Amino acid sequence: MILINNFFIRHANKLIKQAYCTNISSLSKVERIKFLRKMARPNSRENPVIMKLDSQEFHSIFNDELRSLVSLFKEYGYEIRIAGGAVRDLLMGKQPKDLDFATTATPTQMKEMFVSENVRMINANGEKHGTITPRINDKENFEVTTLRIDVVTDGRHAEVQFTTDWMLDALRRDLTINSMFLGLDGSIYDYFYGHDDLQKRRIAFVGDAVTRIQEDYLRILRYFRFYGRIALEPNNHEEGTLKAIRDNVHGLENISGERIWMELKKILEGNFAGDLMKIMLENGLALYIGLPEKPNLDEMKRVWEQSGHLNLNAITLLASLLNTVEDAIDLHSRLKLSAFERDLAVYIVENRAPKLHPKPLMPFQQQILKSMSKPTNTQKMAVEVLKYNNSSYWEELEKWEIPKFPVSGNVLKERGVEGGRMMGQVLNELKHFWADHDFSLSVDEILKELPRVLNTIAEKKKKK
Per-residue model confidence as pLDDT tens digits over 361-408: 999 998 898 887 899 999 999 999 999 999 999 999 999 999 999 999
Q: How far is Cα 269 from Cα 262, in angstroms, rounded to an integer? A: 11
pLDDT the model gives residue 8:
44
E strand residue ranges, 70-206 = 80-83, 100-103, 120-122, 131-136, 140-141, 143-146, 148-153, 158-162, 181-183, 187-189
pLDDT at 124: 66
The arithmetic mean of pLDDT across residues 93-118, rounded, is 95
Q: What is the mean pLDDT of the chain?
A: 90
Check residue 373 and give its pLDDT.
83
pTM: 0.84
Per the CB < 8 A criterion, the answer to whether 213 and 251 are in contact is yes
Give Cβ neighbours of residue 90 (< 8 Å, ≥ 6 apart): 53, 55, 57, 58, 96, 182
Pick from 28-42, 130-144, 333-347: least confident:
28-42
In this prediction, residue 25 has a pLDDT band, given cuts at 50, 70 and 90, of low
Report the percent of the chain where pLDDT is more than 90.
Answer: 75
What is the C-alpha to C-alpha distance for residues 8 and 15, in angstroms, rounded to an integer? Answer: 9
Which pLDDT does position 19 carry in this prediction? Answer: 38
Query: What pLDDT score was predicted for residue 461?
Result: 82
Higher pLDDT, 166 or 2: 166
pLDDT at 39: 46
Least confident of 5-9, 57-61, 138-142, 250-254: 5-9
CA distance 175 to 241: 12
What mean pLDDT comes out for the span 157-186? 91
Please report the pLDDT score of residue 357 as a whole number: 87
Is the distance from CB of 304 to CB of 274 less than 8 angstroms?
yes
Answer yes or no: is pLDDT of 151 > 80: no
Confidence of residue 2 (pLDDT cuts 50, 70, 90): very low
What's the average model confidence in pLDDT over 339-354?
A: 96
- At 437, is the pLDDT very low, low, confident or very high (cuts 50, 70, 90)? confident
Dihedral sign (CA 154, 158, 160, 166): positive
Strongest mean pLDDT among 151-160, 330-339, 447-456: 330-339
